[in-house]
A and B are shown apart, each in its own frame.
Chain A
């Protein structure tokens, strides 16, 4: 079965301290990898879609990259408002209409 593992489970950063979140996946024929941000009490908010190894996407302080086995979400000079849970999901060739989610990384950025 398709599987997604995210690490670390939680990450505490000082404002301005850059870091990366990891999403490792096992899927039969990756069709898409998706990053979402989730704030407490809210639904996941779409950030990026990556389709093939080597692809990169950027949005403000966030940059997502993809290899054949994992994806990274790089956070450059984070601010307290970047605090949230970041979720990774994949769609595979066998089940291309459903997402398989990881458990998420809870990011806390201290001022």
Chain B
């Protein structure tokens, strides 16, 4: 069974540019999550989809971040315009059910904003 995949693995952009990250969850997993780790800090929750619906986006830093999951399959996270403090590692995770169940993480996208 294929795991969670993320693209790109690395991205280096300049401040003010736009970047779009993609996540493909494990097949059949309706729940998809985005997390972020900034330098020296713990991994923090950004948002949660159930199929194509946003269930919780309380962790989104501001309106420069837009997440979508059209069709309930893969998800994209767009940062526009990117700022220096957006640098970090963005992880996607998926789970079959909601609630207290294991979430399976992808390898992450390392974003550097210069």
Contacts from A to B (Cβ < 8 Å)? 4, 31-32, 34, 36, 41-46, 49, 51, 87, 89, 91, 95-104
Most buried by B among A34, A49, A95, A97: A97
Chain B residues whose CB sits within 8 angstroms of the CB of A91 once the complex forms: 99-100
Decide: A49 near B101, CB < 8 A? Known: A43-B91, A44-B91, A98-B33: yes
Of A4, A34, A98, A101, which is within 8 A of B102 by CB?
A: A34
B107 at the A/B interface (Cβ < 8 Å)? yes
Decide: A49 near B56, CB < 8 A? Known: A44-B43, A44-B105, A97-B48: no
Complex Cα spacing A99 to B59, Å: 11
Most buried by A among B43, B91, B93: B43
Q: How many residues of B contact A (CB 8 A)?
A: 27
- Contact between B48 and A41, CB atoms less than 8 A apart: no
- Contact between A99 and B45, CB atoms less than 8 A apart: yes
Complex Cα spacing A9 to B41, Å: 12
- Contact between A46 and B102, CB atoms less than 8 A apart: yes
**How far, in Å, is A1 (CB) from chain B's closest CB?**
11
Of A43, A97, A102, which is within 8 A of B55 by CB?
A: A97
Contacts from B to A (Cβ < 8 Å)? 4, 31, 33, 35, 41-45, 48, 55-56, 58-59, 91, 93, 98-108
Chain A residues whose CB sits within 8 angstroms of the CB of B105 once the complex forms: 36, 43-46
Decide: A49 near B102, CB < 8 A? Known: A87-B43, A97-B48, A101-B43: yes
- Contact between B41 and A103, CB atoms less than 8 A apart: yes
Chain A residues whose CB sits within 8 angstroms of the CB of B35 once the complex forms: 99, 101
Chain A residues whose CB sits within 8 angstroms of the CB of B99 once the complex forms: 31, 91, 96-97
- Contact between B91 and A98, CB atoms less than 8 A apart: no
Chain B residues whose CB sits within 8 angstroms of the CB of A98 once the complex forms: 33, 45, 48, 56, 58-59
Chain B residues whose CB sits within 8 angstroms of the CB of A42 once the complex forms: 107-108
